[in-house]
Structure formats: C-alpha cells, structure tokens
Amino acid sequence: MGELYFKRGLKMGLFSKFKELRAMIREVENSVYGEKQDYSEIYERNLQLERDIEERTRELSLANKRMLSLQHIWDMMNSSKPLQNVLETVVNSFQGELGYLHSNIISKSKDDDGDYMYILAQSRDITIQQVNNIVKTPMQLRRLPYIEGGIFEESLSSKKIIQTKDFKSVFQSLIPEWTEEMHKKVMSTVSSKSLIVIPLYTMNKPFGWFCVFSSREELSDVETDFLSIYAQQIEMAITIADLFEALKEQAVTDSLTGLYNRRYFEELLQKEVVRAKRQNQPFSIIGLDLDFLKQINDKFGHSFGDLAIKTVADVLKRNARSIDTAARMGGEEFNVILPGIDSKGAMAAAERIRKTLEEQRLDTIGRITASVGVATFFEHSDNIDELLELTDQAMYLSKRNGRNRVTMATPISETSWQQIAVNTFVDILSKHNIPIDENLSKELQKKLQESSNENSPKDALFSVADVLTSSYNPLHSQGAIKSKVQIAVSLAKRFDLTTHEIDNLRIAMLLYDIGNLMLPPEILQKTTPLTMEERDRIKSHPIIAAREILKPITYIQDVIPIIEHHHENWDGSGYPNKIKKEDIPMTSQIVLIVDSYFALIEPRPYRARLTPESAIEIIQQDAGIKWNKTLVDEFVNLIKHDFS
C-alpha cells in the first residue's frame, strides 16, 4: 500500500514538474515571439526612417540646387555681362541644374500689326531641336502670335503661374502651320508632361513669361513658391540690365537719329558672326545711302538735310523686326543687320524699306530716295570684312544704275575681274586715298560708273589707269596699259597659271605702280642722278601701294602680294623684302619683266626711248639675276612672235 502511494506521489510529482516545464517553455516562447515582434517593428521603423532620410536628402539637394540657381542669377546680375548673355545663362542653368526639360524667356512686344511675342532666350536641348527641325524656321526667330484669352494672356493679366498639359493647343497658338503629324513627331521624342508659364513684370509693367517644360504632371506648392522666387530674380535682372542699357545707349547711339552708331554696329556684327556660325544660320546686311544729300543741303540748308536723314532713320525703325539692328554709319549711310534672314528675305525687306522711303513726302524737300545694297553671310562670303565691302559695292552699283533701287551683292568668286577692278578704282578715288585733282577724280569715277552698265568695262579701266599713270609720269604712252595687260596674260598662260591667278594678275597690272602717286613729282621726273635718299623713296612705292592704298580694300587681298613683291629680283637683290627665286610669286615676276620692258621702250626724263630690240637685249643680260631664265626665254619669244 505504501508502495502504491509512493508511486502515485512520484507520478504527481513528475506531472507537476512537467507542467512547470511546459509553463517555462511557454514563457520562453512568448518571450521569443514578443522579441520577434519588437524586432520586426524596429526593422519596419528603420526602413521607413531610411526612406524618410532619402526623401529629405533629395529635398535638401533640390533646395540646394534651387538656392545655387538663385545665387547664379545674383552673380550674373553683379557681372558686366549684357542682358542677353545673362538670360541665356539663366535658362540653360535652370534646365541643367534643376532637371527641367526645356526653359525659355518670352518677351511681349508691339508693332504696327499689333501685339506679338518673341523668344528672348532659350535653353539648348533636344526639345527645342526637335521643334526647330520640324517647323523649319527656328522658334527664336519667329514672330509669335499673342492670342487674347490664351494661356499667355491669361497668365500675364492674372499675374499667376499656370500649368497645362495641353501642348497641342499651345503649339497651335504659337505656330499657325502646326499639324497633328508635327505634334506626334515632337511628342514622340520628348518626355515633357506639362508646361508651366510664369508671368514676368519689370517696374510694374508686363514684360513677358518664363516658360518651363517639366517631366512632372503636378505642380506642388513648394515648387510654385520656388518658381515665383526664381521669376522675381529674373525680373530684377531685367530691370537692372535695362537701367545699364539706358546709360550705355547714350554712348552707342547717334544723337541725330536715335539709331545705333558705327561703333555699336561693328561690335554687334562680330557677335552676330559668332551666333551665325554656332547655329549655322545666315544673316543679311542691308546697306542704304540717301540719294542727293549734298544737293538737299546746298539748296535748302543743313536743317533740311538733317530732316531727310532722320526720315530715313524713322523708316528703318518702322520696318525693322525686334531682333534687327539699324545703325547710322556716318553721313548719309545706314546699315541694317537681319539675323536669320537669307538673301531672298533680305531683298524683300530692302525693297520694302526703299518703297516706304520713296512714299514719304517732306515739307519743302518733297520726295527723298535711297540706293540700297544687300549681302548675306555664308551665301556671299563668310568673311565679315568682305561682306561689308560687298554690301557697299551693291549699294554703289544701285547709285551708278540710277539710284532709288535695290541691288543684290555678287559673291567674290562670281565677280568678274573687270568689275572688281572698277570697284577698286572707284573705292580709291571716292575715298580720296590718292592726291589727285578733285575734278579729275570725279570725272574718272563717272567714267568707271558709266562703264559698269556695259558688258565689258575694260576700255574704261585701261583709260583710267593710263590717266593716273600720266599724272605722275607725263611721258607715259596712252594705250600702254592695255598692251601691258595683254602681254602679261599671254605670258601667264604659257606657265599654266589658273584663271583666278590670271584675273588677279590683270588687276595687279592696272594697279602695281599706283604707289608712285604718293611720291613727290620732282623725284619721279628728275633728269639728274638720284640721291640715295631719293632712291629709297622710290623703292617704297610697292609698300605704299600694297599697305597704304590697297590694304583697306578687302576683296583684292589676293592681289596685294603680287604688287608688294613686283620689284623682287630672282637672285634676292631686289626690294622691299629681298626674297628670291621660287619665293617670289610668278605673277610678281611677270609684272616686273613686263614693267621693265615698257620702261625701256618709253622715254624717261633722263634718257630717250630704246628700241624693242635693245630692250630685249638688256633683259636677256639680266637673266638669272633679275628674272628666272625660263621666264626671260618665254617673254622674248612672246615679244618677237606675238607682239612685234
């Protein structure tokens, strides 16, 4: 019995222990489970914290970029850069630093046709490239319609930022020829989700808009606040720039007409060349010369001459686009730069100006007219000095052909050597670069101008060259210039010179001794031996011709080296640079041998003329010294067989 109780007690003790053990296990399990829950909660909290930190970091980074962008505007405003540069930097930095796809600044303006808009600055990106490629005429060169009730008018009148996702309506309002196909092409290549239009005001007057193409569909309050602040900085930049421009304008404008002066025009032209090359777009120059200003001054007085000049300026202002620049170059001459306009468009613009001016009726004076020339960068020349010369040539051709007309420039490569020579002589004579009688100068200019209307002005050229030569060499034989050119050309052909080289040689033969006009007649016509000093003066005439008289004429730059070196000897004993052999241009060698031959067969103050035979003999003696022996042989053969 006792054993039975013992066993029962043992069982109960074991059961109790088992219960205790189970309770302990349950307690451990509960503890582990609780800790697992805690760890899970901690893990989730950490994940959320990491996400919050990442989001705050992005926000801080964006805020920092926004602050840097605002600082950028402040730095630009404190620099000396012009407004256009400031605004271009603003839109490009805005797009790059803040992740917007495209941004631009649009200005509102007004002309005789009403209100319109134009893009003042735009970021360089794929969005605008795609639009420009499709619409052909770049957006920055367009006159954009200002639509009453449109998004731009609404934003400006309400002074509120407006966001739209309806790109199609916006493009259609700005580009009349916009089609569904165009829209699909553009939108398939860009990822813009919305357009944000921010109004701009300067000095409480409406200026335009800051436009942003965004990849985000919604505009948050924080972003709206930032864009407002950003726009305010742009407004301040424009205001400050306008104040500086007002001061600067006083130094770069013509006081009589209010147009820009020559200095500003030349500075702007250099910038326009850079822009044209960067964007691979042409620009044109219109040159205008008021007809008969001297007669107006002489007949009615200078006050009426000023009235005529101011009338031209007013016509230019009324007929210019906002991006065109008109300037008074001096006297009665004006120039206009037409950015992005080819020769066809420039001719139309020039004709519109000419016609508008012709229709003016002034008190006392009556009708006034102008002679106009047009030249286009890339099309006529990619050298700005040449382009200006071509514009002047076209303008002067309008004058020679009867005035009150527009003439298109001819590219250098297409201009005949005769016309280049005519223009060169006219340029020299009209600018009084040589000391000759004023009446004689006018007579020669008239002769040349009349010859331009003929198919071949060669006879007039030879005649003028003979007259000029006779002015410093009274013993010069009339008609000799024509013979010199003929012999020189025939000789050049024997050495297979190119057509271009031969044309340059023709012009050089007309001009090579023009430097003698600057020397004292008493030296050139001296009958006794020259002193060393006098010899040195005479030796300077190639340099005078090349560097003082001809160098300013940009379209004959290829001719100048021929003239400068036409007294260099084959053995290096010549002047002015003592170059020798093949270093001397063949064309210069030809000028020298032809000139020397005619100097021998013509009389001089200190000797009688020589016979052709004697002249040839002297030339042969100097073969290998003054001239290449091969050149001498060809020359002698030519004279004996073709010109004897």
Q: What is the pLDDT of residues 57-83, one digit of tens each?
A: 555 455 555 555 545 555 555 555 667
Question: Does 552 sit behind a cis peptide bond, omega within 30 degrees of 0 on the bond before it?
Answer: no
Q: What is the pLDDT of residues 593-622, one digit of tens each?
A: 998 999 898 887 777 888 989 999 999 999
Structure tokens at 593: 């041998």
Q: Judge whether residue 5 has pLDDT over 60.
A: no
d(CA 113, CA 16): 107
Q: Judge whether residue 85 has pLDDT over 80.
A: no
Q: What are phi and psi of 638, to 5 degrees?
A: -65, -45
pTM (2 d.p.) = 0.43
- Structural contact between residues 200 and 191, judged by C-beta atoms closer than 8 angstroms: no
CATH topology of domain 83-252: Beta-Lactamase (3.30.450)
- Looking from the CA of 446 toward its CB, the CA atoms found within 13 Å total 6
d(CA 248, CA 83): 12
SS3 state at 638: helix
Torsion of CA 250, 255, 261, 267, to 10 degrees: 0
Closest CA to 387 of 230, 542, 276: 276
- pLDDT value at position 339? 95
d(CA 571, CA 565): 13
Burial of 383: CB neighbours in 10 Å, binned 0-12, 13-18, 19+ = middle
Mean pLDDT over 126-151 rounds to 87
Class of domain 416-644: mainly alpha
Please tell me if the domain spanning 83-252 has the same topology as the one spanning 257-414. Answer: no
Question: Does 576 sit behind a cis peptide bond, omega within 30 degrees of 0 on the bond before it?
Answer: yes
Residue by residue, DSSP assigns 441-508 as HHHHHHHHHHHTTSS--HHHHHHHHHHHHHHH-TTPPTTHHHHHHHHHHHHHHHTT--HHHHHHHHHH
Closest CA to 412 of 448, 379, 372, 434: 379
- Structural contact between residues 550 and 559, judged by C-beta atoms closer than 8 angstroms: yes
Q: What is the pLDDT of residues 197-246, one digit of tens each?
A: 999 998 888 999 999 998 888 888 888 888 888 888 888 878 777 776 66
d(CA 446, CA 400): 9
- Structural contact between residues 480 and 457, judged by C-beta atoms closer than 8 angstroms: no
SS3 state at 101: coil
Amino acid at 439: N
- pLDDT value at position 98? 63
284 strand-pairing partners: 338, 376
- pLDDT value at position 6? 47
Question: Could you tell me which residues come within 8 angstroms of residue 432 by beta carbon, excluding any fewer than 6 positions away?
Answer: 441
Tallying the residues shown for the chain, one arrives at 644
CATH number of the domain at 257-414, please?
3.30.70.270
d(CA 106, CA 210): 6
Q: Judge whether residue 50 has pLDDT over 70.
A: no
Amino acid at 116: Y
- pLDDT value at position 428? 81
Domain spans in the chain, listed from the N-terminal domain onward = 1-68, 83-252, 257-414, 416-644
d(CA 507, CA 562): 10
SS3 state at 526: coil
Mean pLDDT over 488-510 rounds to 85
Q: What is the rounded average pLDDT for all residues in the chain?
A: 82
